[in-house]
Structure formats: structure tokens, C-alpha cells
């Protein structure tokens, strides 16, 4: 079954009573389909992907066969047009067995969010169909060596030259560096204007994008992270996303829409850790009985399960806002979902590893990989400290 098999009832993506945070029957069916698929086609590759620190091409191709890259893209440009809760379900189920593979589905959508929401129809027509078919991949290039949370400090420039822009600068922490076919690059078109002088561009890899460094990372090793160099890269004016000098607002709007999916990734990793640990404690016997029968162990499991469900509910609420109220409370709830889910997931995975004792500390079991993988969810797309600032400022301002 693919995503298109579920399109016989077109309203299924949107007929959900999310005020009560319940899933539609179609969404429940889709979770079951994705879980079986992920366990059969993705999970068996996870340990090798981590060990080899290589892009999971076999898993990616399996996802393409399931039409997963199309899930979150508009139907008018080759996508399936699924709502964001359904997209979160997909991310959860992939992350439950392989965080690296879940990121391969997240990153191209992230790279194309500026095009989807702010780009011209010509840009959408040029780039979205290939992404939807899994024939191309995209990256998002915002951070620089001296401009992480402080986006306005970026030094990459875009200088107008006739019908083109000439881009120069370095971008770092770029997910999918060297794999992607396009890079959504943010650069200063008015260097004196601070954050009001940033613009966004779609830059094709073969226009001169150079990968100068690949990071050696703690986790999610199947997804390359690197530094790219732009030296006099010529980009046609038609590849400007939206209006000139509106790039900061495009970047922030993009992250508001993508952070709930990082929360979904964290929830998926945590769910995978809990499921594995519970299966283990049911089978592991000490002092003549399964350790799952110990009340202290059950209390740990109860706390873990509760954290996951609370995080999932917050992620789904943020996802509904992407579809229903993107200009309202999305910034606040997207930040909440991202930091609460990732903090909760970190706690759950550590406790899951503890339940395995010494075995959890070895590579014979997936918990040590999950612990390394989940950490990045507290860092990328805005550290959790920054997310707390976003939430706190929003609450204080709305209460004044």
C-alpha cells in the first residue's frame, strides 16, 4: 500500500476531530501501514547505516517506493497534500526504527518549505515535482560559522548583477551536504540592514556549490552534515524566493512550520526505545521472575509512556496549527512541541537504556544508538534554550 492507495477518500487527510486530538480512521490505518513498512524495510538497515556512517540509500529508495517524499508536498505539484498530523505520523514511524532515515524525509521538505509557501509558481513547478518523486533532494542553508541562533550576523552575500545574483559565503551544519541537488540559501542582499537585508534563493548544486567539510558526528550518522562554500556562484533572479530582503521572515516562517516535525522525530525515537525496553524487561528474568513485574520498573515505564503521550499530543496540536492557523500561535506551539518533545525523548531513551542495564550500553542493542541519535533533536532547528526564549517572550507579550 502506498500513500495514493489511501486517496480514495480525498477528505481523509482533513476529516479529523483534532480539538480532541484524535486521529481519523485513515490516519490510524496509515500508522499501521507505516509501522509494518518501517519494521520490514527500514529497521533492518539501521545498525549498518550507523556503523558505516553512510547515507541509507536502500532505505531511501524504499521510502520513495512508498511515495513518502510526496507526502507533504502540494498535489498541484506532484505531492499528496497530506495534512501535517499525517506527516508527523510518517516521521514518527520511521524514527522509531531509524532516525537517520526519518531525517532523509524531513530535510528535503525543509529545503522546499520556503518554495512551497513563499516561492513563485515557476519555482514550484521547477523543483517540487522532482522532490515529490524522490528524484531530487534539497537542503536548507541558514547557519554560518558565526551566525547560528543570531541569524542577522550572517556574512554570506548576494550581489545583483544584471538578471543574476552573485553569491559568496560559507554555510555550516548543512544536512544532506553533498547529497542534495538543490540548496535553499539565505544571504545578505543589503548587508547594512541587519535581518531586514536577507534574501532567500534556490541554488542548484552544479552551479558551483562546494562541500568543504563533512562533520564526524555523535549520532544520526546516516545523514551527512557538512559545510558548503559559495564562491562567485551565479544564481538567476528567477530563483529568488519571494521578495528581496524578506529572507529573514521566510526563514522564521519556515522553522515555525518545521519544528513540530523535529518533535515528531523525537517522539518516534522515544517510542522505539520504550517499545524495545518493554519487550526486553518482559523476557529478562532475575530472582525467579520477569523484571517487568517489579513495581519500581513499572513506575519507570509509566513515566516514560506518559512523557511520550504528552509530547505526542503537543506535537499534533502544533501540526494542526500549521494547517489551520499558521499566522496565529504556531510560533509558540511549534517551539513548545520541539523543546518539550526532544527533552522528554532524551529522558525516555536514557531510562530505556537503564532498563537494559549493561546490555543497553553495548552496540548489540539499539538503545545506545538511539541515545546518540536523540540528542540532536535538542539542538538542531533552534536549540531548546532558544525555544524557551521564543515561548517565554510569546507568553509575556500575549499577557500584556
Q: What is the SS3 assignment for 225-280?
A: EEEEEEEEEEEEHHHEECCCCCHHHHHHHHHHHHHHHHHHHHHHHHHHHHHHHHHH
Q: pLDDT tens digit string along 129-162?
A: 999 999 999 999 999 999 988 998 999 999 999 9
The pLDDT score that the predictor gives to residue 14 is 40
User: What three-state secondary structure class fits 135?
Assistant: coil
C-alpha 262/C-alpha 200 separation (Å) is 22
> Domains of the chain: which residue ranges?
3-133, 138-245, 248-399
- Strands 157-161 and 210-214: what pairing? unpaired
Contacts 24+ apart (CB under 8 A), 56-60: 56/98, 56/100, 56/101, 56/104, 56/222, 59/98, 59/100, 59/101, 59/104, 59/222, 60/101, 60/104, 60/134
The pLDDT score that the predictor gives to residue 18 is 40
The pLDDT score that the predictor gives to residue 1 is 56
* Secondary structure letter of residue 380 according to DSSP: T
Here the cell at position 88 is 508527523
Integer-rounded Cα Rg, in Å, for the chain is 21
HSE-up of residue 159 (Cα within 13 Å, Cβ side): 9
- Strands 182-188 and 138-141: what pairing? parallel
Average pLDDT of the chain, as a whole number: 94
* Secondary structure letter of residue 39 according to DSSP: I
**Multiple choice CATH, 138-245, 2.40.110.10, 3.40.50.2300, 1.10.340.30, 3.20.20.150:** 2.40.110.10
Confirm if 86 and 13 have CB atoms less than 8 A apart: yes
Full DSSP string of 171-186: EEEEETTTT-SEEEEE
Enumerate the active-site residues.
381
* Segments in the chain below pLDDT 70: 1-21, 399-400
The pLDDT score that the predictor gives to residue 15 is 35
Block residue for cell numbers 544536512: 175
C-alpha 211/C-alpha 183 separation (Å) is 12
Architecture of the structural domain at 248-399:
Up-down Bundle (1.20)
C-alpha 242/C-alpha 230 separation (Å) is 21
The pLDDT score that the predictor gives to residue 148 is 87
pTM higher than 0.75: yes
User: What's the CATH fold of domain 3-133?
Assistant: Butyryl-Coa Dehydrogenase, subunit A; domain 1 (1.10.540)
Confirm if 217 and 373 have CB atoms less than 8 A apart: no
User: How deeply is 94 buried, as exposed, middle or buried, from its count of CB atoms within 10 A (0-12, 13-18, 19+)?
Assistant: buried
Amino acid at each position: 500500500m502506498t500513500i495514493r492507495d489511501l486517496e480514495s477518500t480525498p477528505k481523509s487527510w482533513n476529516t479529523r476531530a483534532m480539538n480532541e486530538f484524535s486521529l481519523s480512521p485513515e490516519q490510524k490505518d496509515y500508522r499501521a501501514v507505516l509501522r509494518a513498512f518501517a519494521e520490514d524495510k527500514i529497521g533492518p538497515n539501521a545498525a549498518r547505516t550507523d556503523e558505516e556512517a553512510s547515507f541509507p540509500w536502500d532505505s531511501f529508495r524504499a521510502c520513495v517506493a512508498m511515495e513518502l517524499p510526496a507526502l507533504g508536498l502540494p498535489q498541484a505539484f506532484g505531492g499528496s497534500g497530506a495534512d501535517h498530523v499525517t506527516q508527523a505520523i510518517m516521521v514518527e514511524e520511521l524514527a522509531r526504527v531509524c532516525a537517520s532515515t526519518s531525517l532523509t524525509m524531513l530535510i528535503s521538505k525543509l529545503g522546499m518549505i520556503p518554495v512551497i509557501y513563499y516561492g513563485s509558481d515557476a519555482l514550484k513547478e521547477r523543483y517540487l515535482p522532482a522532490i515529490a518523486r524522490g528524484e531530487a533532494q534539497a537542503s536548507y542553508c541558514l547557519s554560518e560559522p558565526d551566525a547560528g541562533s543570531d541569524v542577522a550576523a550572517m556574512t554570506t552575500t548576494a550581489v545583483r548583477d544584471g538578471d543574476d545574483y552573485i553569491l559568496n559565503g560559507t554555510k555550516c551544519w548543512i544536512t544532506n551536504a553533498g547529497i542534495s541537488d538543490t540548496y535553499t540559501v539565505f544571504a545578505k542582499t543589503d548587508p547594512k540592514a541587519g535581518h531586514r537585508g536577507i534574501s532567500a534563493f534556490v541554488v542548484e548544486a552544479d552551479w558551483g556549490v562546494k562541500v568543504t567539510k563533512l562533520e564526524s558526528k555523535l549520532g544520526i550518522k546516516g545523514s551527512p552534515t557538512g559545510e558548503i562554500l559559495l564562491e562567485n556562484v551565479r544564481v538567476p533572479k528567477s530563483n529568488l524566493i519571494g521578495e528581496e530582503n524578506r529572507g529573514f521572515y521566510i526563514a522564521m516562517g519556515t522553522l515555525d512550520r518545521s519544528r513540530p516535525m523535529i518533535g515528531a522525530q523525537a517522539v518516534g525515537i522515544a517510542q522505539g526505545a520504550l517499545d524495545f525496553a518493554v519487550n526486553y524487561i518482559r523476557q529478562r528474568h532475575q530472582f525467579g521472575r520477569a523484571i517487568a513485574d517489579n513495581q519500581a520498573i513499572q513506575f519507570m515505564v509509566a513515566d516514560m509512556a506518559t512523557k511520550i503521550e504528552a509530547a505526542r499530543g503537543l506535537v499534533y496540536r502544533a501540526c494542526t496549527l500549521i494547517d489551520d492557523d499558521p499566522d496565529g500561535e504556531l510560533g509558540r506551539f511549534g517551539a513548545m512541541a520541539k523543546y518539550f518533545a526532544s527533552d522528554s525523548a532524551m529522558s525516555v531513551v536514557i531510562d530505556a537504556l537503564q532498563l537494559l542495564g549493561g546490555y543497553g550500553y553495548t552496540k548489540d542493542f539499539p538503545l545506545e544508538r538511539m541515545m546518540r541519535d536523540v540528542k540532536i533533536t535538542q539542538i538542531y532547528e533552534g536549540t531548546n534554550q532558544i525555544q524557551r526564549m521564543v515561548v517565554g517572550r510569546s507568553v509575556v507579550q500575549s499577557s500584556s
